[in-house]
């Protein structure tokens, strides 16, 4: 009896288990651990914007020599470019949705890539505004991506970085229209169009640095002027050069050491003499006012002088520059004339 009772209990338990197991009860949904990888954001396929000039481009490629365009009011060259299909880090704020910044990498999207171009208007020691406001405001600067045209953002400083989303490998061209001419440059290769390349042919630059010693009447100690000169051959300087000509720009950064108070003004055209091939040229020149940098023994003043003239397009590679300060100069408020005691001339080689 006891064995039968136990057997019955076991059988009963089996029936209960079988009955529960056979019930039609839906299994709970599987629990998955939250992903630690943020969702990838897809960029606007027509995106074009400027980003911080302090940002580092991913694996940049230096642009070749001659990757530049010069116009009546604009001047720039390509410094470096980069392409990638993902962006992260410092680039994320440029892909905000409302106030939300993506938490993870941003993709250029299927068959697209990011193209980054670093541009500069710096030529030697002089910084030019790359794209003056009238050009961008009037949509005279455009980016062509394949068959699509995009309006250039307002890059109005002397440097900038462009960020675009473009089809992988598609041609990307920047075009500027001004004074009845359109010039363009390939933003991937840095190669200007044939007309622009012909206009820029002959461009060159050079620098020189020398000191001019001398004295003013009644000045027993004497004075000194340090001359830092930069010379450029360029097809544009406010206007296009005439056929067969090119602009020669000469810029002087001048530092004056004087034991007395220097004042008055500089006559730019009379203070500078420019010779090419032994011939003295008549230049258009202007000078800035004297600025006192430091007071002491002696005082240090500084100003700048700019001169320009059109010269033959081919063959100018050496420029003789002579500087002696001339004009309504004063020392301690009294008229004064600088008399050089050392050679005030130097030759600049253009390359």
The tens digit of pLDDT for each residue in 231-252 reads: 999 888 878 888 889 999 999 9
pTM greater than the 0.75 cutoff: no
**Length of the chain, please?**
351
Higher pLDDT, 39 or 49: 49
CATH topology of domain 41-200: Immunoglobulin-like (2.60.40)
Query: Comparing 303 with 36, which gets the higher pLDDT?
Result: 303
pLDDT for position 199: 80
**pLDDT tens-digit series, residues 148-207:** 999 999 887 999 999 999 999 999 999 999 988 899 999 999 999 998 888 878 888 999
Other beta carbons within 10 angstroms of residue 22's beta carbon come to 8
Per-position DSSP letters for 147-182, written without gaps between them: TEEEEPP---SSEEEEEEEEETT--EEEEEEETTEE
Task: Specify which residues 215 forms β-bridges with.
Answer: 339
When pLDDT is averaged across residues 206-217 and rounded to a whole number, the result is 92
User: Residue 74: is its pLDDT beyond 50?
Assistant: yes
Residues 100-116 have a mean pLDDT of 95
Q: Read off the tokens for 239.
A: 């206007």
Parallel, antiparallel or unpaired: strands 48-51 and 112-120 = unpaired
Which two structure tokens, joined as six digits, stand for 64?
């070749």
CATH of domain 204-349: 2.60.40
Q: What is the mean pLDDT of residues 321-346?
A: 94
Per the listing, tokens 């023994």 go with: 297
Average pLDDT over every residue of 268-289: 95
Environment class of 25 (CB within 10 Å of its CB; exposed 0-12, middle 13-18, buried 19+): exposed
- H/E/C letters for each residue in the chain? CHHHHHHHHHHHHHHHHHHHHCCCCCCCCCCCCCCCCCCCEECCCCCEEEECCCCCCCCCEECCCCCEEECCCCEEEEEEEEEECEECHHHHHHHCECCECCCCCEECCCCEEEEEEEEECEECCEECCCCCHHHHHCCCEEEEECCEEEECCCCCCCEEEEEEEEECCCCEEEEEEECCEEEEEECCCCCECHHHHHHHCCCEEEEEEEEEEEECCCCCCCEEEEEEEEEEEECECCCECCCCEEEEEEEEEEEEEECCCEEECCCHHHHEEEEECCEEECCEEEECCCEEEECCCCEEEEEEEEEEEEEECCCCCEEEEEECCCCCEEECCEECCCEECCCCEEEEECC
Backbone angles phi, psi at 153, to 5 degrees: -65, 165
Average pLDDT, the chain: 87
CB count in 10 Å sphere of residue 85:
15
Tokens of 222: 């004497």
CATH 2.60.40 residue window(s) in the chain: 41-200, 204-349
Q: What is the mean pLDDT of residues 277-285?
A: 94
What's the pLDDT band for 1 if we cut at 50, 70, 90?
very low
Query: What residues does 291 pair with on adjacent strands?
Result: 302
pLDDT of residue 37: 56
């Amino acid at each position: 009896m006891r064995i039968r009772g136990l057997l019955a209990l076991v059988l009963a338990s089996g029936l209960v288990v079988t009955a529960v197991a056979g019930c039609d009860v839906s299994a709970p949904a599987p629990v998955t651990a939250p992903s630690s990888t943020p969702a990838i954001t897809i960029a606007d396929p027509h995106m074009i914007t400027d980003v911080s000039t302090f940002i580092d481009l991913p694996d940049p490629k230096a642009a070749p020599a001659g990757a530049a365009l010069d116009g009546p009011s604009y001047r720039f060259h390509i410094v470096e470019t980069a392409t990638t299909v993902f962006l992260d880090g410092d680039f994320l704020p440029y892909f905000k949705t409302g106030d939300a910044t993506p938490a993870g990498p941003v993709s250029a999207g299927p068959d697209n890539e990011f193209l980054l171009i670093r541009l500069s208007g710096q030529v030697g020691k002089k910084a030019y505004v790359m794209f003056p406001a009238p050009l961008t405001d009037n949509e005279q600067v455009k980016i062509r991506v394949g068959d699509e045209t995009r309006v250039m953002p307002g890059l109005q400083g002397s440097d900038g970085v462009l960020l675009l989303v473009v089809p992988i490998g598609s041609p990307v061209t920047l075009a500027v229209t001004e004074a009845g001419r359109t010039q363009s440059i390939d933003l991937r290769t840095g190669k200007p169009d044939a007309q622009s390349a012909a206009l820029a042919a002959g461009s060159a630059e050079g620098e020189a640095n020398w000191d001019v010693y001398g004295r003013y009447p009644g000045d027993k100690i004497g004075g000194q002027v340090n001359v830092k000169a930069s010379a450029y051959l360029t097809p544009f300087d406010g206007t296009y050069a005439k056929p067969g000509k090119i602009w020669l720009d000469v810029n002087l950064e001048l530092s004056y050491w004087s034991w007395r108070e220097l004042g008055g003004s500089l006559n730019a055209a009379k203070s500078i003499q420019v010779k090419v091939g032994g011939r003295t040229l008549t230049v258009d020149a202007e000078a800035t006012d004297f600025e006192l940098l430091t007071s002491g023994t002696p005082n240090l003043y500084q100003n700048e002088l700019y001169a320009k003239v059109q010269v033959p397009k081919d063959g100018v590679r050496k420029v003789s520059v002579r500087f002696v300060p001339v004009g309504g100069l004063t020392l301690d408020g009294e008229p004064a004339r600088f008399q050089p005691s050392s050679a005030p001339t130097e030759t600049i080689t253009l390359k």
